[in-house]
A and B are shown apart, each in its own frame.
Chain A
Amino acid sequence: MLILASLAAGPKHGYALIKDIEEIAGTTLGPGTLYGALGRLEAQGLVESLPAEDRRRPYRITAAGAEAARTYLEHVRTVATAGLRRLGPAHA
């Protein structure tokens, strides 16, 4: 999901993805972890590769990937909103 959220802003290669995910989520993905996930997402048709620039290949989110990301993030927002409401202002 972190990768899809990052690619929602535009195509990126591996290094740019890791730096962007660090910025938006505070999580540093390892190179093996990133490419393991990219391989899965590409196999599922959620991301696609663009022509390589040297050995760096950019990836972009597909329409199916954008839809999957949107569905998941809206679900997370619903849960987060309900959870925060139940916690009340004392926990805000």
Chain B
Amino acid sequence: MLERLVRLYPRAWRARYGDELAQLVTDLRPGASRAALAFDLIRSAVTLHLREVRTMNAHAMRVALSAAAIVWLGVSAEIVLSNVVFPSKTDDDLVPILVSYACIFAAFFLVGRLSARHGANARSQVLAGVIAGAVIGAATVATFAVVDNVWLDIVSRQQAKIDGFAHSGASSMRAYINQGLIGAALFLTAVLAGFGALLSRAGGLSHTRRL
């Protein structure tokens, strides 16, 4: 009965130490309290699971945050270039937007794949994707907030913004833009976190199948 508690331990750890631990429990049982042995085995199993999760999550989080930072820098550069440096009054930025999303989605896939390579399980891969997506979403909207407010005179010449402001009832172009950014922050963060979870897991599975 007590030896069965060894099954509670993480699989990799059990493969290495499980038999020895089960034998030790058998050796100790005649002179020891069963409750004390059970408590120690369960407590130790929980500790090892938590340590394993912490280790996996730490790797996965580093990968997620690094990828998010690189993608955010690229997307921010594109935002500044297309809105400030080479502004267009017409909405002809479909190609840069598609390229940006392709890079973001590729990054999610890569996050899952690299996390899996560092031993992250499915839960950690999904969590890494969620973190990467949420960070990219929130940071990208923050970039828009800075660009739109600092270079309002340039940004407000965009036809889409002129039309939107005209139908918004907002007191000023700045108020109209900032109201839109609040909604965009919530929407983009949630949507990218969702895509991050899915694509990161897909990346993790691609690594697993390759092995």
Question: Interface residues, chain A, CB within 8 Å of chain B?
Answer: 13-15, 18, 30-36, 38-39, 52, 54-57
List 18 A–B pairs whose Cβ atoms lie within 8 Å, in order of A's numbering.
Answer: A13-B20, A14-B20, A14-B23, A14-B27, A15-B27, A30-B37, A30-B41, A32-B42, A36-B47, A36-B48, A39-B13, A39-B16, A39-B48, A52-B19, A54-B23, A55-B19, A56-B20, A56-B27
Q: Is the CB of B48 within 8 A of A34?
A: no
By DSSP majority rule, is chain B's interface helix, strand, loop, or mixed? Answer: helix
Closest to B23 in A: A55
B210 within 8 A of A: no
B22 within 8 A of A: yes
User: Would you list the 9 A-B pairs with minimal beta carbon distance, nearest first?
Assistant: A30-B40, A32-B44, A55-B23, A14-B24, A32-B41, A15-B27, A31-B24, A55-B19, A32-B40
Closest to B17 in A: A35
Shortest CB-to-CB span from A54 to chain B, Å, is 7
Closest to A14 in B: B24
Question: Interface residues, chain B, CB within 8 Å of chain A?
Answer: 13, 16-17, 19-25, 27-28, 36-37, 39-45, 47-48
- Name the residue among B22, B24, B25, B44 with the largest chain A CB count within 10 angstroms: B24
Taking A15-B28, A18-B28, A31-B28 as contacts, is the C-beta distance between A57 and B44 under 8 angstroms? Answer: no
* Cα(A33)–Cα(B46), bound, Å: 11
Q: Is the CB of B24 within 8 A of A35?
A: yes
Taking A15-B24, A18-B28, A55-B23 as contacts, is the C-beta distance between A31 and B17 under 8 angstroms? Answer: no
